[in-house]
Amino acid sequence: MAQIVNDWRLDFMRAHPRLFDVMPGEPEHSFGYPLCNEGWREVLENLCIRIEAVLQQGETFAFVRIKQKMGILRVDWDGGISDETEIRVVEAVDLATARSACTCEICGIEGTLYSNREWLATRCSRHATGDPVPRRPGFENVHLLRRRPSGSDMYHARYDRDTDTLTEIEPPSDSDE
């Protein structure tokens, strides 16, 4: 008989039943089971709240994968939603991704990207291993984002951690040093 994993991830998924389908007996194998540390729990909670707020009657949404990759949150999802809802879901995912890029995945306080033998992780100075990844001055919280998951319309945005907002900006040029 499979042992049931009892950690924050399972509680988190059960708190958002419209977004997760928890497999009985093997919840850690459920689609969307967060493969990241608890420091990003608040990031994920805000993501779920935003998505639940925009889902319309009859629309379906499910997380397929939530994980840490290259030091930031990666989210894959599927659903039957309108174009308008899709735009709002993508905005919510973009905000969560941007916030993860400056949040220690261990404890949740402000952090930065570190490289440890080519393994990237966003950490605070207390939990950091390796060396900080250098950022171009003035572009520390700039992200290249996609407006729609299936589209190629890309844009650059600056993330403000204090207000939890993204502001579209002109793309950095090679002369911006």
Listed as ranges, residues in the chain with pLDDT below 70 are: 1-6, 146-152, 174-177
- Start-to-end C-alpha separation, the chain: 58
Could you write out the DSSP letters of every residue in 9-24? HHHHHHT-TTT--PPT
pLDDT at 91: 93
pLDDT at 104: 98
Distances from the Cα of 163 to the Cα of 57, 97, 159, angstroms: 30, 15, 9
Domain boundaries, the chain: 8-134
pLDDT at 27: 86
pLDDT at 10: 93
Distance between CA atoms of 45 and 49, rounded to whole angstroms?
A: 6
pLDDT at 177: 46
Distance between CA atoms of 122 and 102, rounded to whole angstroms?
A: 7
Q: Among 59, 67, 113, which Cα is nearest to 86's?
A: 59
Distance between CA atoms of 146 and 94, rounded to whole angstroms?
A: 8
* pTM score over 0.75: yes
- 165-169 sheet: strands from edge to edge: 142-146, 154-160, 165-169
pLDDT at 57: 96
pLDDT digits (tens, 9 = 90+) for 33-84: 999 999 999 999 999 999 999 999 999 999 999 999 999 999 999 999 999 9
pLDDT at 153: 77
pLDDT at 5: 47
pLDDT at 1: 45
Could you write out the DSSP letters of every residue in 120-133? EEEE-TTT--SEEP
